[in-house]
């Protein structure tokens, strides 16, 4: 069986399972990528947030820590922009991370009006623990999608840029 025929058979099986589980057909939604991306996102967020709860993080806080670790000294505006987080919301999230002792905010040497971000030793330790939890999560995602589909999805979706 060709890969496209196999993928079509898998889609048909999912559609049949959905109808059996709920008694509801999806109509044109069965042809919308966005619908299936949203379903995958919902499952991914539920799974990763459950995993990260072990270190008192969620996917958003983890993402912020990861961006700070990759860009020490970056401003909170730059990190917010890179992650697609509204600036007003970012302030509260950074407050939470700072109160937890995971990050420091210092006046930027280049622009005294801006705050440069860094991880504390505790922040680096929590992020290291989170890496193991996220790696286990990614293995679960790959198992659900299949290794080849996982790699293809990662390659395709990493090309998408926010406006």
Q: Provide the 8-state DSSP code for 75.
A: B
pLDDT at 11: 54
DSSP codes joined into one string, 27-61: GGGGG-HHHHHHHHHHHHHHHHHHHHGGGT--HHH
Cα–Cα distance list, 31 to 9, 24, 85, 92, 146 (Å): 14, 16, 30, 39, 21
Higher per-residue confidence, 68 vs 114:
68
The confidence band for 104, taking pLDDT boundaries of 50, 70 and 90, is very high
Q: How many CB atoms lie within 10 A of CB 27?
A: 8
pTM of structure: 0.80
The confidence band for 1, taking pLDDT boundaries of 50, 70 and 90, is very low
Q: What is the pLDDT of residues 14-46, one digit of tens each?
A: 555 555 677 888 888 888 888 988 999 999 999
Spatial distance between the Cα atoms of 128 and 150, rounded to a whole number of angstroms: 24
The total number of residues written for the chain in this structure:
163
The confidence band for 71, taking pLDDT boundaries of 50, 70 and 90, is very high
Spatial distance between the Cα atoms of 61 and 142, rounded to a whole number of angstroms: 23
Provide the CATH number for the domain formed by 35-157 in this structure: 1.10.10.10
């Amino acid at each position: 069986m060709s890969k496209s025929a196999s993928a079509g058979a898998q889609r048909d099986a999912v559609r049949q399972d959905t109808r059996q589980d709920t008694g509801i057909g999806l109509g044109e939604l069965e042809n919308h990528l966005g619908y299936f991306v949203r379903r995958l996102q919902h499952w991914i967020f539920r799974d990763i947030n459950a995993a990260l709860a072990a270190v008192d993080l969620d996917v958003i806080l983890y993402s912020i820590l990861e961006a700070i670790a990759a860009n020490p000294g970056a401003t909170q505006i730059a990190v917010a922009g890179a992650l697609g987080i509204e600036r007003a919301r970012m302030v509260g999230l950074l407050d939470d991370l700072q109160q937890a002792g995971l990050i420091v905010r210092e006046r930027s040497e280049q622009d005294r009006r801006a705050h440069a971000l860094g991880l504390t030793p505790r922040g680096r330790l929590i992020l290291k623990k989170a890496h193991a939890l996220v790696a286990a999560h990614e293995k679960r995602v790959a198992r659900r999608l299949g290794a080849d589909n996982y790699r293809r999805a990662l390659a395709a979706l990493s090309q998408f840029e926010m406006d």
